[in-house]
Amino acid sequence: MKPHPATKIIHHDYVAPEGFSAFPAAVHKASTVVFDNVAAMRNGCWNDKSGYTYGLHGTPTSFILEARLAAIEEGQFCLLAPSGLAAIAIVSLGLLKSGDDVLIADNVYSPNRELGQWLARDFGISARYYPPLIGDGIRDLIQDNTKLIWAETPGSVSMEVPDIPALCRAAHERGVLLALDNTWSAGIAFKSFAHGADISMQALTKYQSGGSDVLMGALITRDKEVHHRLELARMRLGMGVGMDDVYLVLRSLPSLSLRFAAHDAHARKIANWLNSRPEISRVLHPAFPDCPGHAIWERDFTGAGGLFSVLFAPHFSEAQVDQFIDNLELFKIGYSWGGANSLCLPYRMNEIRSDWQEQGQLVRFNIGLEDVADLIADIEQSLLRMQA
């Protein structure tokens, strides 16, 4: 058979020589995965990582990222999801069924709370919210049908640092799993498994990507059975990741700990400066004594992220604080964080927290990688303009 050019541009003769070697992982893209023969196709198992069946479940590119992410916290297994929130949804949908109960910390990422409300309203799952600093007291809330506890350390807006080991001890006494949103520490400053958590969820969208250009999440576990339940949920929900995005995270990963240390150092300098300002009544940064759960941060963490909040003195109105944010030049207004750009956002805490007691407007800063003195000068000029 002499193929037509239209066939030859699909079935070419060229075979790249063996022996190519370079540092970057190859970007293997696939929907279809090709089997050697029918027997291999029939024997292929979708979740066997020693083989490949379909692009949705991963290619060598995503398997490499999963292995590298699992290593950060000395986990055993890792699953990628198309966003941090997708990873959260895989946990709740994979581990809960109707009739079950889930306990969700009041300080979790708001869409996680919202997911709980949806499960309660439409799926016959009871979702109850607990004060993040409850510690051992969680014992009194665990029911026979409680299957999962969600925690976040620190809460990424209000910044309380929960006692994860105490929550895990109470959960494990009753056979309950604890899933931790460990995005703030990027798995670097807080080790989920060493402190007892069963699942470490991380939004790779933040520090692991570092580029403000990717949405992705990871679920890391040490327990094969838990991993398998999550894997089933991800497969049933059809959640896959794009390999170009995986490549971007792989490209950023070698500098993760350096970037994280820089975000930490910059943020502490700026938080320290804010702490001395009369306009600011409280700095909610886990490394500062005013932050609820600071002693637990000191006990359990080896560093801090670049994200923290402040409370303005109560006499500043919402309009004035909004003006402060509008007048910032280097700090931009936007969600998400963990990239090179500094960001600033106001939160109406009474709308997201029924138990919020603090006075004064809450403003959250994501400290990027710009020069610290320039960032401080920007905040200072805007504080002065706010009062002019």
Ligand X SMILES: *Cc1c(COP(=O)(O)O)cnc(C)c1O
Under rule CB under 6 A, which residues in 79-118 are in contact with ligand X? 83-85, 109
Beta-carbon contacts of residue 49 (< 8 Å; ≥ 6 apart) = 58, 63
User: What residue number has its CB nearest to ligand X?
Assistant: 84
Asked if 212 is part of the footprint of ligand X (rule: CB under 6 A), the reply reads no
Query: Mind giving me the DSSP string for 98-121?
Result: TT-EEEEETTS-HHHHHHHHHHHH
3-class SS of residue 180? strand
Closest CA to 105 of 357, 352, 298: 352
Q: Which is nearer to ligand X, 89 or 134 (CB)?
A: 89
Q: Which is nearer to ligand X, 206 or 222 (CB)?
A: 206
Q: How far apart are CA 240 and CA 180, in angstroms?
A: 22
CA distances from 130 to 11, 120, 141, 362 (A): 60, 15, 8, 21
Asked if 203 is part of the footprint of ligand X (rule: CB under 6 A), the reply reads yes
Q: Which is nearer to ligand X, 109 or 365 (CB)?
A: 109
Q: How far apart are CA 293 and CA 291, in angstroms?
A: 6
Q: How far apart are CA 294 and CA 299, in angstroms?
A: 9
**Both tokens assigned to 338:** 């963990």
Q: How many CB atoms lie within 10 A of CB 223?
A: 16
For residue 27, how far is the Cα from the chain centroid? 24
Q: Which is nearer to ligand X, 52 or 297 (CB)?
A: 297
- For the CB of residue 51, give the shortest distance to ligand X in the complex, in Å: 29
3-class SS of residue 329? coil
Query: Residues 59, 92, 107, 183: which binds ligand X (CB under 6 A)?
Result: 183
Binding mask 162-181 for ligand X (x = CB under 6 A): -------------------x
Q: Which is nearer to ligand X, 166 or 204 (CB)?
A: 204
Under rule CB under 6 A, which residues in 35-74 are in contact with ligand X? none
Phi, psi for residue 280 in degrees, rounded to 5: -105, 125
Q: Which is nearer to ligand X, 105 or 287 (CB)?
A: 105
Q: Which is nearer to ligand X, 201 or 386 (CB)?
A: 201
Binding mask 221-260 for ligand X (x = CB under 6 A): ----------------------------------------
- Only segment of 71-79, 202-210, 241-249, 278-286 that touches ligand X (CB under 6 A): 202-210
- For the CB of residue 284, give the shortest distance to ligand X in the complex, in Å: 15
| Axis crossing angle, helix 256-275 with helix 372-387, rounded to the nearest 10 | 30
Asked if 215 is part of the footprint of ligand X (rule: CB under 6 A), the reply reads yes
* Number of residues located near ligand X, criterion CB under 6 A: 14
Q: Which is nearer to ligand X, 113 or 294 (CB)?
A: 113
Under rule CB under 6 A, which residues in 331-370 are in contact with ligand X? 336
- For the CB of residue 337, give the shortest distance to ligand X in the complex, in Å: 7
Helix (H) or strand (E) holding 201: strand 199-203
Chain residues in the site for ligand X (CB under 6 A): 83-85, 109, 152, 156, 181, 183, 203, 205-206, 215, 217, 336
